[in-house]
Amino acid sequence: MSMNILLIIALSPLVGAIIAGFFGRKIGKIGSHLVTIASVAVSCILSIQVLMGLVNGEFTVFNQNVYSWMVTGDVSLNVGFLVDSLTALMMSVVTFVSLMVHIYTIGYMHDDPGYQRFFSYISLFTFAMLMLVMSNNFLQLFFGWEAVGLVSYLLIGFWFKKETAIFANMKAFLVNRVGDFGFLIGIAAVMMAFGTLDYSEVFAQLPQFADKTISIFPGVEWSLMTFIAIALFIGAMGKSAQAPLHVWLPDSMEGPTPISALIHAATMVTAGIFMVSRMSPIFEMSDTALSFVMLIGAFTAFFMGLIGIVQNDIKRVVAYSTLSQLGYMTVALGVSAYSAAIFHLMTHAFFKALLFLGAGSVIIAMHHKQDMSEMGGLKKYMFITFITMWIGTLALTGFPGFSGFFSKDIIIEATHLSDRWGSSVAYIAVLFGVFITALYSFRLLYLTFHGKEKMDNHTKEHLKESPWVVTLPLVLLAIPSIAIGWMTIEPILFGGFLSDAIHVLPQNDVVKEIGQEHFHGAGSFVLHGLTQLPFFLALAGFALASYIYLKKISIADNAKKTFRPIYDLLQNKYGFDDFNQKYIAGGLVSLGNLLWKWSDSKLIDGLIVNGSAKLVNKISKVFRGFQSGYIYHYALVMAVAVILFIGVHVI
Amino acid sequence: MNSILGWSELTPILPELIILATACIVLVLGLFTSSEKGGLLVLTSIVGVVFAAITTAKFHMGDHELTRQVLFNGNFVRDYMGDILKIAVYAVMLFVFIYSKQYLRDKNIFKGEFFALMLFGMLGIMIMISGYNYITLYLGLELLALSSYALVAYDRDNMQSNESAMKYFILGAIASGMLLYGMSMIYGAVGTLQIDHVALQVSNTNNTMLLSFGLVFIMVGVAFKLGAAPFHMWVPDVYQGAPTATTLFISSAPKIAAFAFAIRLLAQSLEGLFDNWQHIISVIAMLSIIIGNLFALQQDNIKRLFAYSTISHIGFMLLGFVGGIDGYAASMFYIITYALMSVAGFGMIIILSCKGFEAEKISDFKGLNQRNAWFAFMMLLIVASMAGFPPLIGFFSKLVVLKAIVDQGYYVMAGIAVVFAVIGSFYYLKIIKVMYFDESESDQEITAGFDVKSILSFNALLQLGLLLFIPSILSYCIKAIETL
Amino acid sequence: MLEYLVSAEFYQIMLFYVYSFILLGAAMAVVTMRNSIYSALFLILSFFSAAALWLLLEAEFLALTLVLVYVGAVMVLFLFVIMMLDIKVKPNKGMSSYTKVGLFVALLMLVEMMMLLGKKLIPALPQDDLVKHIKGHSNVKEVAESLYTQYVLPFELASVILLVAIVAAILLTLRKRKDYNHVKPESQVHVKATNNRMRVVKMEAEKGNDIGGDS
């Protein structure tokens, strides 16, 4: 493939963003959305073409530097593209979802004063995300990483007059800083150990570093690879919202729904997953790191799903489900099933974007109310939304045949087969996660679309299906949510499509094992799935939710009362927020106050700054006496200086 | 071998000859020009300088870019460093001519002699840059000094101008005497005055006692000319007393000459005594930085303030001299950028002055932003560059020097220099504060012509624009020092 | 030893020291004298001594030039100026504090120079190789040769310096007096008889006693 195509893919959204951002006033609303949609559409079509080319074998892997930014000593910092199957897949997913969201936004934001700004931001996001996935070196990866973080920050706080939005974007920013710090340390460690930031050069040197250790604290020897892998993964934890750095994601729902779909479900939050897959050669060197990854993922998958059950805000439920699904992907990474993680990433991008956009459609109809306890019975009013949401939910819960079923089942199976330390715990977590997923997903559906209509009359009168710009993306996303699993499971997981990008040690390769022992085509995989435990667990969740929310809603209230402590624990999200708020944020604020009051204003300002200024003033006043204006004083100084110089330096 | 001079020797000295001829033409033209219509004199001077620049550039570009031509029986040298420094001098002098026209007219003291004297001074500068014999160097110095004395006293009805000229003259004579005495000591020790012969003899002789004795006196002369502490006492008085157009001149191009003078004498001829003069120069440099910055804090006259700032800048420049080859190149870079900075600073004072009003108090800059936001911004650029705030050129010149000495392991000196540069930034900030945050005391319009305004803007914007050329200028400097 | 005492070298050295001391003494006197006329006269004496020293070095041309130019021209002019300026001589009130400081500094310098140069220089004094030119050696020619070949550039530069000095001196001292009525011959020549030299005034004829009053 030629470099020009790649440059067009990457830069066209940037151009769109610039035009909409700087000239938005001039070209108006329609001009803004036309130009951004066109630019993203160009990227999308070309990305899919690139993907197809790679699948057909027309194109080969592209790895080349485009521009040399600077060269210092032996290190050259470049902007370059590495486009292989993994990248092409990500590019297609990102641009496709982005395109859908662009179209959807026309309907969702149509009377928002920041219309042009919003389009500019999401196009800018698309550019940043493409730079991230297309990078061939750590520096550019970091650039994209920070750029998507920046746009995420801007978009969470898009309604900057809303207190909660400002709080949420600050929170997202700060939490991500923690993760990025780890990431930066990881990159620095790579730089230090390998002397280069180029992926292929780093990977080529890996075997020499297998047994290398470093000691950060004297006496404690750490495997270099473990250190690098965990440091990089801390970055992924921030971006992909893994516990305990997940706290920003639910709050990010304060932003407009389209970006919740695009950034906080489908693309940006999966950057961490993508990054770990991209770094699979590094992670494969350290079993310790992989165990760590897996356990973090398992914890997130299970416990975050639990919180979803008690949430009443429609977007928050979807947000917690996103956390849980990200946990699944992370587990897959931890058991070396990188391709399964990427597969789930892809299917999840479609059905989760669908769910979010569907939720957004509901929110439009409800006049921007998000509380599910005020909804119900909406299926009469908005049929397309209802159907597509059902499709999305079935995909999410892993109903056999839907896309989510394939990816999730593979992950569970892979975890089961893995013999990594702690994999049994992870297996239990992901297994029962299925039950929980089904429970909260169907709860959402029933509360929203079925049952009694609990909204007020005014809202009821205005209830209607959303405009076509909203429903079209829903339909377009529903199609891959159903079908993409069928179509791609074989090539992606077992056909070696990702083998040029992902490196798995033979003894860790659980996906291959599944392929050899259990997989005989997608159809039989579905039939096999009908006899497996996950399916029954999902069915159980479905049945329970149906019983409670369709028949006896009082059970939910009774359960709330009976299990009060557990309910409170879940409502408080296990206290992560309170802990951060009280001890980490509060502690830092009081430390800051202490430093400010005592060290800054007393010591630095009082003693060093003002004190030194006073001292300098005094000294200069004393010396000023010499500058008397008399020639003989000046001449005397000169003579004395000569004598001193001779005296000191010559004699 | 002594030889009668021929054309081959006259061509490399053509720039000097052009300047001399221009000076004489301007001198004569001045007699026939009324003070209201001085444009012709400025134009002639500029044309002369431009011609000189063209010839210098032509020789520089020619086949012998990197070769060194020693001419006039070892009295004159044309080399890479000389060419680069001369081109810098031409550039600075063009600014000087254009700015001073405005000032002299406003003050009603426009005369041909002013420009003639400047051109003679410029000739002295060029001789100081290209002299290859102690005598030639000394004569260049005297030519420059004599022109400067006359220029300082130029506004002869002004008592301040006379007083400062007197101080300058007497102290300058003392310094010249010391310089000559030092040179005679060196001559006594090595028996020659030609730079390269001295260098050769110095490395052979073991009579370092006499040599280093002479060296101290030579350094007095150099330090005086540069205005480095403790031989700096004349600087503030002269800068303040002289007509601003003169201050503009003596604060810029002669510093380049003094740098070349120091390179020729210290680095080129007395390289063998490096260990001896290095200590003295580091003391002089540190004293200059300390005294310059401390005293500047007390000033409310902006010309005086710039004088002390010059002293500290010279100190910074001299720091480079302890850093060996890289250090010399860094100093060269520093002095060139400093000259362009200084000429812009005094140009700003000139442009704010007008008939019957001299903008020399810091308070005269109050509220400049309200009066003329563009020139307030220009002044901001200049002052910030002087203070060494990134990303202006002043920052990079400081950085280059500091890097050179840190590479040689002089951490303490670099540290002190940075501390005092920070202290110094206070008084620069004071100017900025006054311009932007204080209420204007007058509603004086800027009456300067369009040409002066635009050239000054260009000069100020150079503080940013030169950033693009840092690598190339720096590489010129390094090449210049390497081909000495 | 006795032989040395009657040799030419000995007398040359003796004369060197004699003139040197006179030169230094006279130079000291120039600075310390309160009366400027005396100072000027001592300056002349020091020039003479310097000329004598040059004679000892067989640089007759330089010696003569020094006497002719400095003593004959410059110093005489100097004396004129001093006498015309009518400077009042202040009575000598002993050493001022500045003098004390100055003497102290000078003493320090002297000590340093003795420490440095004293023991090094004395044995190096030229005793045997005093300058001795052959008969018929032209001092003028030698100076000329040096000036116009080896040192032609400095020589020309010196001339530029003198030019600058002249320009500067004139610039700083020449004043046009505004109350000075001078005749301009060139405009006198251009006067035309009809317009400039003669003015025809038309007057009305006198009318009776009506005299005076502005017209």
CB contact under 8 A, A650 and C98: no
Q: How far is A619 from chain C (nearest CA, A)?
A: 25
- Locate C206 and state its tokens: 């006198």
User: How far apart, in whole angstroms, are the C-alpha atoms of residue A19 and residue A13?
Assistant: 10
The pLDDT of residue B470: 84
Nearest to A248 by CA among A184, A317, A176, A144: A176
Q: What DSSP character marks residue C90?
A: P
Per-residue pLDDT tens digits for A171-226: 888 888 889 999 999 999 898 888 888 898 888 888 888 778 877 777 777 888 88
Yes or no, beta carbons of A620 and B294 under 8 Å apart: yes
Residue with tokens 């040179």: B183
| Least confident range of B107-121, B408-422, C184-198 | C184-198
Tokens representing B397 are: 């010149």
Tell whether B294 lies on the interface with A, counting CB pairs under 8 A.
yes
Contacts of A647 in chain C (CB under 8 A): 112
Q: What is the chain A residue with the closest CA to C115?
A: A651
B150 in contact with C, Cβ within 8 Å: yes
Contact C164 B117 (CB under 8 A): yes
Contacts of A507 (CB under 8 A, 6+ apart): none
Tell me if A643 and C105 make a contact (CB, 8 A cut-off): yes
Q: How many CA atoms lie within 13 A of A401 on its CB side?
A: 5
| B140/C167 CB distance under 8 A | no
- Residues above pLDDT 70, as percent of chain B: 96
Cα nearest neighbour of B162 on chain C: C172
Lowest-confidence region among A26-30, B5-9, C6-10: B5-9
- Chain B residues with CB inside 8 Å of C160's CB? 20, 120, 123, 143
Residues 6 or more apart whose CB falls under 8 angstroms from that of A229 comprise A186, A279, A282, A283, A285, A286, A289, A290
Least confident of A598-602, B143-147, C88-92: C88-92
Mutate to test the interface with A, among C105, C113, C116, C117 (most CBs of A within 10 A): C105
Flag whether residue B31 sits within 8 Å of chain A, measured between CB atoms.
Answer: no
Judging contacts by C-beta atoms under 8 Å, the chain B residues touching residue C152 are: 5, 72-73, 75
What CATH code would you report for C7-89+97-189? Answer: 1.20.120.1200
Which of the four pLDDT bands, split at 50, 70 and 90, describes residue B1? very low
Listed in sequence order, the DSSP H helices in B107-158 are: 112-130, 134-152
pLDDT band at C134 (very low <50, low <70, confident <90, very high): confident
C-alpha distance from residue C145 to each of B318, C152, C155, C196 (Å) = 40, 9, 12, 62
Q: A646 CA to chain C: closest CA distance, Å?
A: 8
User: Which chain A residue has the Cα nearest residue B171?
Assistant: A635
Distance, CA of A304 to CA of A302 (rounded, Å): 6
Considering only CB atoms, A651 lies closest to which of C101, C109, C116, namely: C116
Half-sphere exposure for A335 (CA within 13 Å, toward CB): 32
CA torsion angle A547 A549 A552 A557 (round to 10)? 120
Alpha helix segments (H runs only) across A266-418: 271-278, 280-283, 287-310, 314-334, 338-365, 383-397, 403-417
Distance CA B273, CA B202 (A): 8
For residue B419, what is the nearest residue in chain A, using CA coordinates?
A612
Does residue A346 contact residue A321 with C-beta atoms inside 8 Å? no
**Cα gap B393→B424, rounded to integer Å:** 17
Please answer whether residues A473 and A357 qualify as being in contact, where contact means their C-beta atoms are separated by less than 8 angstroms.
yes
Q: Hey, are the CB atoms on B5 and C152 less than 8 Å from each other?
A: yes
Tell which residue, B250, B16, B49, B225, has the closest CA to residue B123. Answer: B16
Q: A371 in helix, strand or coil?
A: strand
Cβ contact B132:B75 at 8 Å = yes
Judge whether A158 and A118 are in contact, CB under 8 Å. Answer: yes
CA distance A305 to A328: 11
What mean pLDDT do residues C151-174 have? 91
- Mean of pLDDT values over C41-65: 90
Question: A236 to chain B nearest CA, in Å?
Answer: 35
Cα B453 to Cα A127, B45, B450, B459: the distances in Å are 44, 19, 5, 10
CB contact under 8 A, B230 and A638: yes
**B149 part of contact set with chain C, CB < 8 Å:** yes
Among A636, A640, A646, the residue with its CB nearest the CB of C112 is A646
If pLDDT is split at 50, 70 and 90, which confidence band does C203 have? confident
Per DSSP, A575 falls in state: G
Contact A643 C115 (CB under 8 A): no
- The Cα–Cα gap between A468 and A476 comes to 12
Average predicted confidence (pLDDT) for chain B? 88
Residue B430 has pLDDT above 90, yes or no: no
Question: Is the CB of C172 less than 8 angstroms away from the CB of B153?
Answer: yes
The whole-number pLDDT of residue A513 equals 82
| Cβ–Cβ under 8 Å, residues A326 and A450 | no
Out of C101, C102, C109, name the one closest to residue A643 (CB).
C109
Q: Touching check for B129 and chain A: CB below 8 Å?
A: no
- Nearest Cβ partner for A641 among B166, B212, B231: B231
DSSP bridge pairs for A213? A223
B76 with C153: Cβ contact below 8 A: yes
DSSP state of C104: H
- Taking the C-alpha atoms of residue B234 and residue B165, their distance in angstroms, rounded to an integer, is 10
Cα B482 to Cα A155, B63, B213, B327, distances in angstroms? 56, 18, 28, 12
Q: What are phi and psi of A552, to 5 degrees?
A: -120, 90
Contact B131, B142 (CB under 8 A): no
Residues C146-174: what's their mean pLDDT?
A: 90
pLDDT exceeds cutoff 60 at B359? yes
Do B52 and B15 form a contact (C-beta atoms < 8 A)?
Answer: yes
Helix %, strand %, coil % of chain B (to 5): 80, 5, 20
pTM: 0.63
Contact A620 B297 (CB under 8 A): yes
Q: What angle is formed at CA A250 by the lines to CA A245 and CA A255, rounded to 5 degrees?
A: 120
Domain residue ranges in chain C: 7-89+97-189
User: Residue C131 corresponds to which tokens in the numbers above?
Assistant: 């300058």
> How many angstroms separate the CA of residue A623 from the nearest CA in chain B?
8
Q: Which two tokens stand for residue A534?
A: 């996950």
B:C CB pairs within 8 Å: 77
Task: Identify the residue among B28, B146, B156 best suited for mutation to test binding to C, counting C beta carbons within 10 A and taking the highest.
Answer: B146
**Contact across the interface for C101 and A636, Cβ inside 8 Å:** yes
Which residues, numbered 76 to 115 in chain C, qualify as contacts with chain A under a Cβ-Cβ cut-off of 8 Å? 98, 101-102, 105, 108-109, 112, 115
As a whole number, mean pLDDT of residues B418-446 equals 84
Side chain identity at residue A288, one-letter code: T
Q: How far apart are CA A392 and CA A359, in angstroms?
A: 11
User: Using an 8 Å Cβ cutoff, are A165 and A255 in contact?
Assistant: yes
d(C-alpha B245, C-alpha B349), whole Å: 10
- Interchain contact A610–B (C-beta under 8 A): no
B211 interface with C at CB cutoff 8 Å: no
CA diameter of chain C: 120
Query: Which of A636, A640, A651 is the closest to C112 by Cβ?
Result: A651
- Report how far apart, in Å, the C-alpha atoms of A319 and of each of A93, A254, A442 are: 19, 11, 15
- Evaluate whether B170 touches B298 at the Cβ level (below 8 Å): no
Task: List chain B residues with CB under 8 Å of C120.
Answer: 207, 209-210
Residues of chain C neighbouring B5 (CB-CB closer than 8 A): 152
In this structure, are residues B128 and B263 in contact, taking their beta carbons and an 8 Å threshold? no
Distance between CA atoms of residues A152 and A239, nearest Å? 10
Distance from CA of C95 to the nearest CA of A (A): 16
Residue A429 · residue A298 · CB < 8 Å:
yes
Which residue positions in chain A have pLDDT lower than 70?
1, 70, 72-73, 620, 622-626, 650-651
Q: Is ipTM beyond 0.85?
A: yes
Q: Give CB contacts under 8 A, 24+ apart, made by A574-577.
A: A574/A303, A574/A307, A576/A243, A576/A244, A576/A246, A576/A247, A577/A247
CA distance B170 to chain A (A): 8
Scan for tokens 């899919």, then name that residue. A48
Cis upstream peptide for B391 (omega within 30°): yes
User: Whole-angstrom Cα distance, residue B59 to residue B342?
Assistant: 28
Q: How far away is chain A from the Cα of B171, in angstroms, using its nearest Cα?
A: 7
pLDDT score for C215: 46
| CB–CB contact B213 A646 (8 Å) | yes
Q: Would you call A163 exposed, middle or buried from its count of C-beta atoms within 10 A (0-12, 13-18, 19+)?
A: exposed
Among B217, B224, B295, whose Cβ lies nearest the Cβ of A627? B295
What b/e sequence results for C112-150 when a residue is b if at least 16 CB atoms lie within 10 Å of its CB, and e otherwise? beeebbeeeeeeeeeeeeeeeeeeeeebeeeeeeeeebb
As a whole number of angstroms, the distance between CA C203 and CA B302 comes to 67
Helix (H, G, I), strand (E, B) or coil at A67: strand
